Structures are given as C-alpha cells and as structure tokens.
Amino acid sequence: MSWAQRVRDFGGEGLLIHLSVANGFPPACYRPLMEALRPVGHGVSLPPRPLWPEGEPPRRGITWYTLAEDLIQAFDVLGWRGVIGIGHSMGGVITMVAAVRRPDLFRAIVLMDPVLMDPKVLTFFRILRGLGLGPRLHPLARRARRRRRVWPDREAAAAHLRSRPLFAAWHPAAFEGYLEEGLRPSRDGQVTLAYPPEWEVHLFVNVPHDAWRFVPHIPVPTLVLRGAMTDTFTADSEARFRRLKPDARFEVIPGGHLFPMERPEETAQAIRRWLAEMGRATKGSANTRMSSNRSVQAGENA
C-alpha cells in the first residue's frame, strides 16, 4: 500500500497539520480535535505500523525511532513540507524525533503529553527490557496483554468498552471514532481490536529511555500540552523540558493523559491560539525586516 493510500484526511484548508497518534489508538478517535482545527489548517494522519492493513507482526529492532523514520519517509514521498506536527503520547515523541532529524519538514510541533517521564523510570523500563521482563512487568504492557480483544459484534464491543474507566470521560464523537477505526471484523464473523495488543505490548516495552536528548535540539517553535491529572508528562517533566528548551510554550489542559479525546475543543483552542500568536509574531518579524530593508535602501540612495 502506498503512503498516499494510508493517509487519513480530516479536511480543512491552509497549513498542513499532521497528527501522530498514541500507542493503541487509531486516528479516528482524534476526529473531534482535528475537526476543531479545520479553521486553521488541513488535518491529516498517517497511522503507525500496528494499523497497517498488511498485518505485519512486531519484531525485534522495530522501535519508536523506526516509526519516526516511517514518518520522515512518508513526508518525503508525499512532498509534505512546512508541516505543523501534532503528536500525542508516543506520537509526541515520534514527532519530536522526526523534527530534530529533518527540520526542513516541519514549521512547528505540538507535543500533547509526550512520553518524556522521569529518566529514572525510563531507565527502569530499559532494565526490564534488557532482562526480557518487559511484557510481564511493565505496567502498561501487562495491561495490554490482558486486554479483551474479541466480541460477538460491534454492539457488544461498544457496551463493554463504554463501561471501562479508560473511556469514561471521552467526548462521544471520540468514542465513536474508536469504535469506527479501532474495531474490525474477524474471519469468524466476530469483531476484534484493529490495533493488535501484541503491537501495543511491543511498543510499550520499547519506550525509548534516551528521548530527552532530543529536546534541546528541537529546531522549530514548540507547544507542549499536558493533562492536569496526567501521570505521564508530569509537572516535573514540564520543568525539565523548560530547562532544556526555554523557548518552548506550555499549557495545561483539564483531564488526564487522554485529554485530546476527553477535551478536544479545549485542546484545539490552545493550539489555535498558539498558532495565531506564532503567525502574528512571524508577520511582525517580516514587517520589521521589510522596514529595515527600506531604511538601508534609503541610505544607499541618499
């Protein structure tokens, strides 16, 4: 399948806004957020490998950095430049890494609760992975292994998922998007998770322990959003990020780690506001340069 065939298109006009999703979640559950960004841009998303229809299983050596390279390759093939890169959780790290490695592809990035945790925690996860204990002892990987994946039909799946605390605070349209793209028919007539738990476990276990090293090298304007009740990108993570990249902008959104699905309009408002401010700053800078050039020319003509 070509990269163009993989693109999820949310519509809109203007700047290209690309969404990189969190581990375990399809692009459609971000639809309320991306539709709320239509006034400022054209929203698209390239699903990560776990959602590719080829059904490639996870294998050793495929990491979050592999997914960042996938993103870079796709942008190159599709001819995308000057993109506003938005990433949630794992997608935030992938977007950040891609922007550092290929700054020519991005105009700015928005990191929503990126998986930039306490380095000691990330080192602990690395040790678990090295000992082969990640799938059993990593808390999120363990939960993904136990997750129910098959239901008799879509209605049964919806009833079960709606009862889970994970989805309790979700915007209704975000939940509908999860049902739409997060489930698929199985060969025996039932429905199953479209995002295979094996992939989810693999990516949780392979969370990069060294992603913080990219932060000081982010070459484009950066907005970082975190959930008020998140346990991922905490206030301590924000403080560390501020030290490493003082010119980044930060905002707190009501909700937990999944605030883009819980509070899509508030999230979009923060992004729209920042993009407007960035646009005014860019316009002001351009006007200053034009004024300066006129002054130089006037001096040369005197």
What percentage of the chain carries pLDDT values higher than 70? Answer: 89
Give the integer Cα–Cα distance in Å for 130 and 44. Answer: 36
Q: How would residue 149 be classed by pLDDT, with cut points 50, 70 and 90?
A: confident
**Mean pLDDT, range 132-154, rounded to an integer:** 75
**What tens digit of pLDDT does each residue of 212-233 get?**
999 999 999 999 999 999 999 9
**What tens digit of pLDDT does each residue of 238-258 get?**
999 999 999 999 999 999 999
Q: Are 262 and 115 in contact (CB under 8 A)?
A: no
- The per-residue pLDDT of the chain, averaged, comes to 90
pTM, two decimal places: 0.89
**Mean pLDDT, range 288-293, rounded to an integer:** 44
Q: Are 93 and 203 in contact (CB under 8 A)?
A: no
What percentage of the chain carries pLDDT values higher than 90? Answer: 74
pLDDT score of 180: 96
The two beta strands, 83-88 and 15-20, are parallel
pLDDT score of 290: 44
**Mean pLDDT, range 166-183, rounded to an integer:** 96
Give the integer Cα–Cα distance in Å for 227 and 244. Answer: 20
Q: Tokens 């806004």 identify what position?
A: 17
pLDDT score of 249: 97
* Bridge partners for 86 per DSSP: 19, 110
Instruction: For each of the domains in the chain, give its residue range(s) and CATH number, in order of start.
Output: 3-296 (3.40.50.1820)
pLDDT score of 301: 52
pLDDT score of 277: 93
Q: How would residue 205 be classed by pLDDT, with cut points 50, 70 and 90?
A: confident
**Mean pLDDT, range 46-59, rounded to an integer:** 89
**What tens digit of pLDDT does each residue of 59-81 get?**
888 999 999 999 999 999 999 99
Give the integer Cα–Cα distance in Å for 233 and 89. Answer: 9
